[in-house]
Structure 1
């Protein structure tokens, strides 16, 4: 069973690294906007969550992997090459997809913290880790991004090919 938990944790670490990198990139792309401010805060918190996760792994006697997180960083970089309907400028679809994927990742992170606390029994094994606080923090992160995600979706899907509203 410990091997399965180690595999799960290694996979989840890679996912956290992917979300961290995506949040940082999105925050940079939206710098100077209200969405950029929300993304910058969430990016900082996701980085802190990844550090918390790595500390949990070490406390369990597990060394955080290097391969899967490195692959996650590479995947995030490759994801930048996706077709977005524009060649020379940032597409409204890019903004929406980044926010949408981040919100999905944050929802997944809430489930992760609950799984670790309840299914893996880490709430009892590591009583000083505030899993409820981590779940609540993920909820706040989602709440901070949700209005920007919805606005980006409207901008992307209610615009003509030039980015102007129909």
Structure 2
């Protein structure tokens, strides 16, 4: 019996080197895009819910920036030749909608606890986005398709968003949970 190599059609090759890195970068960026879809929806809803209040006035520009950051991520993906995986975007959008179904102590009007949880979700999302921009910034040292100045701007904006969201998260935690402290 002779050992013959399998035909080339039957062999599966795993991506190696740059091909593997490009594939993984595509997965990474699409996962962040799914998070951006959820974050954009959550931020817009929070700004709408709090409209007319000090929180609403603080969250409106943050929500607008989060939407701009999602667009920036799409632009970066295009510059890198990374295709958008629509199913991941839909999954992020769906997850945000399902996240609204949690009980928050009130049926009809917004709950202080719901607002607190929204702020905490936004905080986590912005922290994840910041990590993505930092990762891309490091990759930009070796990839001229990444605009380092743009990434620096996105990083600075994300840090400002973190500060604003955290300030309001602390305030909301105090208001929503103050009754339980006594």
TM-score (norm 1): 0.89
Q: Which runs of 4+ in 1 moved over 6 A?
A: none
CA 1:36–1:123: 2 relative to 1, 3 Å: farther
Shift of 1:65: 1.8
Which of 110, 117, 136 matches 1:90? 110
The residue matched to 1:31 in structure 2 has which SS? coil
Out of 82-91 and 130-139, give the one that drifted further: 82-91
Larger-gyration structure (1/2): 2
Distance in 2 (alpha carbons) for counterparts of 1:44 and 1:67: 24
* 2:140 pairs with 1:122: yes
The residue matched to 1:5 in structure 2 has which SS? helix
CA 1:123–1:27: 2 relative to 1, 3 Å: farther
Corresponding residue pairs, total:
160
What CA deviation, in whole Å up to 9, does each residue of 1:117-152 have, x standing for no partner?
21xx13442353421211110011112222211111
Q: How does 1:1-166 map to 2 (within 5 A)?
A: 1-118=21-138, 121-125=139-143, 126-129=145-148, 130-159=150-179
Distance in 2 (alpha carbons) for counterparts of 1:3 and 1:124: 17
Contact 2:35 2:92 (8 Å CA) reproduced: yes
What CA deviation, in whole Å up to 9, does each residue of 1:66-96 have, x standing for no partner?
1111111111111111111122322110010
CA 1:123–1:53: 2 relative to 1, 3 Å: farther
Contact 1:20 1:43 (8 Å CA) reproduced: yes
Distance in 1 (alpha carbons) for counterparts of 2:159 and 2:56: 19
Gaps of 5+ in 1: none
The residue matched to 1:159 in structure 2 has which SS? helix
TM-score (norm 2): 0.82
Contact 2:48 2:56 (8 Å CA) reproduced: yes
Contact 2:42 2:122 (8 Å CA) reproduced: yes
